[in-house]
Amino acid sequence: MSFDGVWPYIYIAIAGWLATDIWRWAGVIAGKRIDENYETLNWVRAVATALVAAVIAKLIFFPTGALENSPLWLRLGSILFGALCFFIGGRFRQPLGIAAAIAFLAAGLALIGL
């Protein structure tokens, strides 16, 4: 498509803004109703978490861009090494786990010469 004129902005507004915000609005309406019901809220939480987990799995197993051709074992190895540091990391587990995973990935990418 051409990126000139106002059409790209209308395109983004319809296929981008409207396509995402209708679900946010639906969430507000639904969220106001499930306030009191513990079991429904628990289910909604579980579904929301599983959705985000599925996005994470796709980023790890089927990355786009620079990592597209990187070996799967390297990406999984980074996650496992990061998780190991996370669980022994105590108070600093989050920055430690993230730094460990990224360092493992960077070292691996450098070694295989990406």
Partner 1 sequence: MTVDTAPDTQSQIHWFLIGMRGLFSLPAIILMLSFVGFAAFTAEANIPVDQVMFMTGMVWALPAKVILVGSMLSGAHVATAFIAVTLSSVRMMPMVAALIPEIRDRRTPTWLLLIISHFVAITAWVFAMEKVRDVPRYGRVAFFAGFGITLTVTNIILVGLVYGAVSSFPPIVSGCLFFLTPVYFLTSIWISARHRVIYWALGIGLALGYLFAVIAPEYDILLAGIIGGTLAWWGEKRLRQKEAGQ
Tell which positions 37-76 bind partner 1, by CB under 8 A: 39, 41-67, 70, 75
How many angstroms separate the CA atoms of 110 and 106, rounded? 6
State the nearest-atom distance from the C-beta of 74 to partner 1, in Å.
10
Residues that bind partner 1 (rule: CB under 8 A) add up to a total of: 75
Taken in order 50, 52, 56, 59, the sign of the CA dihedral is positive
How many angstroms separate the CA atoms of 74 and 96, rounded? 19
Region 19-38 residues binding partner 1, contact defined as CB under 8 A: 19-28, 30-32, 34-35
88 or 114: whose CB is closer to partner 1? 114
**Burial classification of residue 92, based on how many CB atoms lie within 10 Å of its CB (0-12 exposed, 13-18 middle, 19 or more buried):** exposed
State the nearest-atom distance from the C-beta of 88 to partner 1, in Å.
13
DSSP-derived secondary structure letter, 68: T
State the nearest-atom distance from the C-beta of 63 to partner 1, in Å.
6
